[in-house]
A and B are shown apart, each in its own frame.
Chain A
Amino acid sequence: MNALLAIARTEARLGFRNSWVLLSTVILTLFAVLLVLLGSGASGQVDAPLLSVSIASLSTLSVYLIPLIALLLSFDAIAGEIDRGTLQLVLATPIPRWQLLAGKFLGHLAVLSIAIIVSSGIAAALAIALDDQGGAQPLGDLAALTATSILLGAVFIAIGYVASASVRQTGTAAALAVGIWLAAVVLYDLALLGGLLASGEGVFARSVFPWLLLVNPADAFRLFNMSATDASLAQAGLGSVSGSPLAQGAWVLASPVAWTLAAILFAVVLLRRVRP
């Protein structure tokens, strides 16, 4: 267990030294602050606290940005170490390979969590400060968004390891990671939208579409945060999905949790086959 924690500590340390923490915090904060400011301009028309409006737009932003940052953090984890010749030395020590991967996961997740927590904290503080309506602030929704953002990051960190452990060159792993991001976050939704438009009010829209949304961890994240915030539902006009029992409650999050576990397990299997 000491070995696992030593790997985690080292990865987190490298995250700070290589400016990963700084860079991802700055990017996330920049976009979040921008969204809050945009929301504050329109908040006169919406009868909701500015924070609620901001949470809705933040969750949409997070779906794109967080998987990207997570993949960028993790695609290098195995292939990069093979490339640089550092993996041989680590695998010669008694640490079991699953602990190596679990340690890296903890370290990378810590790096990403810091970025997410800091950026959503700053954005929330700004939204509360700019809110002129007063009243109760949806702090619970904020906590839920932050926690699920970290979970969304965990999914794509783990998927990045699968990419990294299945090839030997960092370049190939990077290309694979970008492909995964495009497919999961952009193309998947486009395809679903196309299907929805084509089938109209048919079987697809009623019984297949919600499940397909759920299968994609990024969409599951979106579903959860939208059903949590009514304002966001109204804004996004996705009321039909939230009306179905699928979108109710936290069990939507079973999808990203399952994806994380499955991806880590698969990456361990792949790592065991690596011959350094």
Chain B
Amino acid sequence: MEGQHAMNASVDIRSVSKSFGAVHALDQVSLSVAPGETLALLGHNGAGKTTLFRILLGFIAPDGGEAQIGGLEAGSRQARRMISYLPENVAFPKTLTGREVVELYAALKGVAKSEAGQALEKVGLGEAASRCCGTYSKGMRQRLGLAQAIVGSPGILLLDEPTSGLDPLSRQDFYQLIADLAGRGTAVLLSSHGLSELEARASRVAILRKGKLVADGPLGNLQRDARLPTRIRVKTAPADVETLHREFGGRRINGASVEVTCDPDEKMAILAAIHQRPGAIADIELIPPSLDEVYRHYSACEPGKEVRS
């Protein structure tokens, strides 16, 4: 998997380090995003996500390591031709209309003016395109930012917290749009605050913690490797709760349920044991670790305990 990605990677970050004074914003980070792949970069505020983006755009140079865009040095004019960026707090001159904004960025990217209209349609701003963007809501401004990013179908999309300010419905539309672009070969690198926000849309997840890469892999692998306990909640007759609790441990809930916490490997054995014991079982509920718990596990785990899948 890894080798195949490295061969035709659109974004290639090799052992990149960057310090601001005593703060190690990035420490030996290596990442790659292949064409058609969507990589979600997670981390708390200050974990180094924005620093990584600024390096990829050539705004700042890394202290060590290499950042390449399609094999070219990040920040070079050729590299910037391939990349499109959506900053976290996107802003435009208030008196320009939506169409004028996207047409301006089309011209700056050397893309035909006619593509502006298509981009605006795709983000659902077709009807608002002739209004001044000062009148837009926060969600519409974000979608306008997305429109300028996707105009001309760029090879690489860099999206810094793209879904902040979007309502759940627009968020779904947003991920659909990203999936369409990725389907046509665009490499997408997007940052986010948490796993649950991603709604399992990214093909790969990387987690930064205080400038260090602590996880990089498909979401399923991350969930598995975190080895977080699964909870089994068994509902039974009030009379049986006491014996159930004695046999399996765990904790009692509401006087009618027992919640047993177990490793993913033990799950089947425990389920079988519960099934075979006498007494009426009203219901069994399996609660796998939530995405938030998985994220908390990685973003809070000891530095140096690197997990790669």
Q: Is B176 an interface residue (CB 8 A)?
A: no
Asked if A14 contacts B95 (CB within 8 A), the reply is yes
Asked if A85 contacts B107 (CB within 8 A), the reply is no
Asked if A86 contacts B108 (CB within 8 A), the reply is no
Closest chain A residue to B160, Cβ basis: A88
Asked if B96 contacts A2 (CB within 8 A), the reply is no
Closest chain B residue to A2, Cβ basis: B107
Q: Is A94 an interface residue (CB 8 A)?
A: yes
Asked if A93 contacts B87 (CB within 8 A), the reply is no
User: Hey, which chain B residues are within 8 Å of A86, CB to CB?
Assistant: 91-93
User: Hey, which chain B residues are within 8 Å of A262, CB to CB?
Assistant: none
* Residue from the list B77, B91, B100, B108 in contact with A84, Cβ < 8 A: B91
User: Hey, which chain B residues are within 8 Å of A6, CB to CB?
Assistant: 103-104, 107-108
Asked if B87 contacts A3 (CB within 8 A), the reply is no
| A5–B78 alpha-carbon span in the complex (Å) | 20
- How near does chain B come to A143, taking the closest CB pair, in angstroms? 33
| A119–B89 alpha-carbon span in the complex (Å) | 41
Given contacts A18-B95, A85-B91, A86-B92, whether A94 and B81 have CB atoms under 8 Å apart is yes
User: Hey, which chain A residues are within 8 Å of B57, CB to CB?
Assistant: 91-92
Asked if A85 contacts B87 (CB within 8 A), the reply is yes
Give residues of chain B (72-97) contacting chain A, Cβ–Cβ below 8 Å: 77, 80-81, 83-85, 87, 89-93, 95-96
- How near does chain A come to B260, taking the closest CB pair, in angstroms? 51
Given contacts A10-B96, A10-B100, A96-B77, whether A90 and B91 have CB atoms under 8 Å apart is no
| A117–B92 alpha-carbon span in the complex (Å) | 30
User: Interface SS of chain A: helix, strand, loop or mixed?
Assistant: helix
Closest chain B residue to A17, Cβ basis: B95
Give residues of chain A (85-121) contacting chain B, Cβ–Cβ below 8 Å: 85-86, 88-96
Closest chain B residue to A14, Cβ basis: B93
Q: Is A276 an interface residue (CB 8 A)?
A: yes
Asked if B60 contacts A3 (CB within 8 A), the reply is no
* Residue from the list A3, A17, A92 in contact with B85, Cβ < 8 A: A92
- How near does chain A come to B230, taking the closest CB pair, in angstroms? 44
Q: Is A168 an interface residue (CB 8 A)?
A: no
Asked if B110 contacts A92 (CB within 8 A), the reply is no
Q: Is A13 an interface residue (CB 8 A)?
A: yes
User: Hey, which chain B residues are within 8 Å of A17, CB to CB?
Assistant: 95-96
- How near does chain B come to A216, taking the closest CB pair, in angstroms? 34
Q: Is B122 an interface residue (CB 8 A)?
A: no
| A206–B124 alpha-carbon span in the complex (Å) | 71
User: Hey, which chain B residues are within 8 Å of A89, CB to CB?
Assistant: 85, 87, 90-91, 105, 145, 148
| A88–B84 alpha-carbon span in the complex (Å) | 12
What are the nearest 9 A-B pairs in CB distance? A6-B107, A17-B95, A93-B108, A92-B85, A85-B91, A94-B80, A94-B81, A3-B108, A92-B57
5 CB-based A-B contacts, threshold 8 Å: A2-B107, A89-B85, A89-B145, A91-B59, A275-B60
Binding site for A on B (CB under 8 A): 54, 57, 59-60, 77, 80-81, 83-85, 87, 89-93, 95-96, 100, 103-105, 107-110, 145, 148
